[in-house]
Amino acid sequence: MPTATPLAETLPSIIPYCGAPPVPDGFWSAWNGDPVLLSVFALAAVGYTAVVRRHGMAMARHQPWCFAAGWLVLFAAFVSPLCNLTSALFSARVVQHLLTIQMAAPLLVLSWPMGALRWPRWARILASPLAIPEIAWGLFGLFLWVWHLPGPYMAALRFDAVLWVMHASLLVGAVAAWRTVLAPDDAAMRGRGLLSAFGTSVHLAILAALLIFAPQPLFVYHLDTTAPWGLSALADQQLGGLIMGVIGAAVYVMVNLYALARWLMVPERQRL
């Protein structure tokens, strides 16, 4: 992983999408009122309500609850003051990412009724490789590494468009990956999905270790943003690595155990 640039060479002052780096006083009032983002949340809720009304009789009882939970997790990640805190702390950004990829994504997979939408043929063709667990998890893992490298991370802070490419790629990649485990097209694919998910958890732990044991801060933007929170930039980075390696790994274990239990409940002839 590239090393951080010395403080003297830091980029000019920037204000990320989530706002200027906050300080503890008044932090809890720093909600994200972006009308475009709030409209997307509202449209998602309305759209899913329409799906429930159309396919309600064919849906499992847990599915609307899973959507509501996933929706609330994303709301907490992008609208609550956590969004603003990501402008100050790298560790807060890690929490935001974990909420997106390890809580919201599997909940959204579990919430979606099979066959609810008839996608165009071209879309089905483009998305078909993502039904292969190794491809879905490999692409998701690539996104994880790319967006935690200093260059792409700094670009996401400087440019809103890059930031939303980051969030969209992580969420879509996570949904595609978790789908191979929680809702595969073929029940026989679930075992391959579980193995691929385990592989992702291993290299996520490697990424976490690099963040924890790096000798200096890797993200120059945070050299001047962490002090009001009682952390040095290096300590903040190490905290982010610990959250990623400990809490992130625990969530992988829990979701994978849940997926394994569902798989084992399938009749043996359907698992072969």
| Amino acid occupying residue 43 | L
Q: 123: how many CB neighbours lie within 10 A of its CB?
A: 11
* Alpha-carbon distances of 102 from 112, 127, 161, 247, rounded to whole Å: 17, 21, 23, 10
> What phi and psi, each to the nearest 5 degrees, are found at residue 38?
-65, -35
Q: Cα(97)–Cα(240) distance, rounded to whole angstroms?
A: 11
- Which is nearest to 220 in space by CA: 2, 30, 17? 2
Question: Which is more confident, 247 or 207?
Answer: 207
Reported as a single tens digit per residue, the pLDDT across 123-181 is 778 878 888 889 999 999 999 999 999 999 999 999 999 999 999 999 999 999 998 88
**pLDDT at residue 185 above 70?**
no
pLDDT in tens, 140-151: 999 999 999 999
Q: How far apart are CA 27 and CA 21, in angstroms?
A: 10
At residue 207, the pLDDT reads 93
With 70 as the cut, is the pLDDT of residue 79 above it? yes
d(CA 60, CA 113): 8
pTM for this model (two decimals): 0.86
Assign 194 a pLDDT band (cuts: 50, 70, 90).
Answer: confident
Please say whether the beta carbons of 98 and 244 come within 8 A.
yes
Q: What is the pLDDT of residues 50-76, one digit of tens each?
A: 888 887 666 778 889 999 999 999 999
**What is the percent of the chain where pLDDT is above 90?**
56
CA distances from 171 to 22, 128, 129, 178 (A): 26, 18, 17, 10
Question: Considering only CA atoms, which of 219, 142, 128 is closest in space to residue 179?
Answer: 128
- Amino acid in position 135: I
Q: What is the mean pLDDT of the chain?
A: 86
What integer pLDDT is reported at residue 126 of this predicted model?
81
- What pLDDT is attached to residue 209? 94
Arithmetic mean of pLDDT, 44-54: 88
Dig out the tokens for 133 from the structure: 């667990």
